[in-house]
Amino acid sequence: MPTPLSPGMSGEQWDSVLDVSLNGFYNVTQPLTMPMIRTRWGRIVNISSVAGITGNRGQVNLFAAKGALHAATHPLALELASRGITVNAVAPGIIATDMIEGSFDAGSIKRLVPMQRAGTAQEVADLVAFLASEKAAYISGQVISINGAMI
């Protein structure tokens, strides 16, 4: 039986990851876009992953989904720029959360991350808060990595 993220993954496994990452982007962004256009202000910050930039073995579906999210970020930014709306993506690397427990030991993190530590959820939240603020009014169409210099 193939593992969930192997080249032999089932169609359901493929669809599940694309549904969350790509259809989730559409389902959240689409109903909010017209109200933002009417007010001529808005911030869209897509949460992605470093896996959408570099890819990982066994995660072709995640790379495809996050890569597509990155590909959607720039043209949406182009469409909405004249209306005062910015669109960016944040691509975290290894972040110390329950989700990575058991996936990376301290030695692995030191080998993979030049800063030799995992990032924190607060560091990611601070970046997202900045991109959602008025201070980031001229930043749009970007995929911003927060990964301790991994790539």
The fold of 11-146 is Rossmann fold (3.40.50)
Query: How many whole angstroms separate alpha carbon 59 and alpha carbon 66?
Result: 11
Secondary structure (3-state) at 47: strand
pTM of the predicted structure, to 2 decimals? 0.90
Query: How many whole angstroms separate alpha carbon 139 and alpha carbon 141?
Result: 7
Q: Within the chain, which residues score under 70 in pLDDT? A: 1-7, 58
Q: What does the domain layout of the chain look like in residue ranges?
A: 11-146
pLDDT in tens, 100-144: 887 888 999 999 999 999 999 999 999 999 999 999 999 999 999
